[in-house]
Chains A and B, each alone.
Chain A
Amino acid sequence: MADLSKDILTLREKKAVIEKGGGEAAIEKQVAMGKLTARDRIHSILDKNSFQEYDMFMKHDGRDFGMDKKEFPADGVVTGTGTVGGAPVCIYAQDFTVAGGSLGLQHARKITKVMDLALKMKCPVIGINDSGGARIQEGVSALAGYGEIFYRNTLASGVIPQLSLILGPCAGGAVYSPALTDFVFVVEKISNMFITGPNVIKTVLGEDISMEELGGARVHAEVTGNAHFYALNEKECFEQVKRLLKFISWNNQEKPKAVKAVAPKMKNIDEIVPADPKQPYDVRDIIKCLVDDSDFLEVQELWAANIVIGFGRMDGETVGFVANQPMVLAGVLDCDSADKAARFIRYCDSFNIPIVTLEDMPGYLPGVDQEHAGVIRHGAKVLYAYSEATVPKITVILRKAYGGGYIAMNSRHLGADFMFAWPGAEIAVMGPEGAANIIFRKEIMDAENKEAMRQEKVREYIEKFANPYVAASKGFIDTVIEPKETRSNLLHALKLSVLKDEFRPAKKHGLPPF
């Protein structure tokens, strides 16, 4: 008995030393930057007392440059499992206080081990990145470590949700693990992501830019689209993580856990869209009138804001929303908004989440920059993603549905299960003015008063074609509904789709236009 308690004391001492990480001074420095320590971060996300740490006794195997004499507690990364809302997750957090969180082969192997576990147990994996980069002393072994993580990110893609929190520097090759995962979280003044830093850019290209301007949180949330959630501090970031986990499914064989149904708080759905198709409004107000409790979790809120994506619940079940946003860039599809929508559609399809599309868009954005940036290739992703998706797909045309945009936004022709349109919808090959100028060119040219004739022909076109009834007469629209009936129609359609079964030709994988 006496020996046993001595062993236990030794274990406790060993653990206590390792749990100190890089020591008091390093922790103090970490905290002064508004950052929590690796273990505190994990505890902030997981259910209380649920964290089980593994591999804390693992050691690095660096032998060169004096590394054989150096000890790195837990080799600079804390890994383990726990629960969020009672359900299991795998988690790892790089510890910047230990050798700058630098990644060597054993550090990486701790991460891949917990990733393998997540894939086997079919639960989400949460990665917290806070690292100076590769442990240079380990040479190519460090690179091997990164590669082994990327490989598993790819294998796990579409099988289990992968979340990346950037809570410190994440530079060079390290950025590619988050980039391969489903959701990236950044925090103002704490996150930094780039391939090459400001110094290299200045030396090589002469461009002078600060770290924050190059790859700070706001830049990735607003300009690059690399980040999905942006927070002002770590606490807010952890809340976002927990909120997202409540909406999504745990793996690709399950649906998200349903919660109790609640009626929307916002009810004025018929007062939001202005009758004049040229007046903007915030499409998120429409979503809030449709989802339970008016609770909508927007993804990539700041980037490509001309399209809105995110999760809400209808009758307690998670639904993914894709909606054109007339308030920003008139709600056009462009390279960025196409990328944003396509990736989200594929996420929902992978994880059994029905998609509701709210359409009000004037078409694709014209411009040399767009054409040269490859809007053809980017825009095609939306067509691909919708056509490929086999989850329930429902579209509501709120107002404008013109041209290529009409086809792209989950039209009947791409396999929509239900197509609804509001009575003010304008479904046509192009806007009335453009169309009238082409169809009635001769009449307008020959008229005495060309402008009056043009106006008359525009009116004629609007009456004849800029409405939902032409599309409805061909069965492209299932029914024209009043705004107030939208939620009940969606709920009914979702209920009907519960057992939806649709198959695609067998293939190794498709070739979406990346």
Chain B
Amino acid sequence: MEIFQIVAIAVVATVLSVLIKNQKPEIGIYISLVTGIVVFIFVVAKLQSVIEILNQLANKINIDDIYLSTILKIVGIAYIAEFGAQVCKDAGEGVIASKIEFAGKILIMVMAVPILVSLMDLIINMVP
């Protein structure tokens, strides 16, 4: 079970981070950053197979490829923005963190515009 490894890594990293942050807060940030990345790389292989299955399902029911790839892009943007915002917030820079979240929201909105347009087209076609 990988969850035990992940929890063990996280607990050890937390202890180290608390230890270092008393002396040098600037290096303590790096520890939390690296821990986040390590945990993500642990679980990323599992996620790959789920995305593969989603792709196969989308191919099977003949859905347009743009929808699935847009959703995946949105998930990716949301994840990266959340990650960066958490790191900034952890370092005590709540302002920069909220700016990152703002930028993430705008980029997600831009990504979602084509889907919105196609939905609008569908509605307009249905209601003459």
A, B: real partners: no
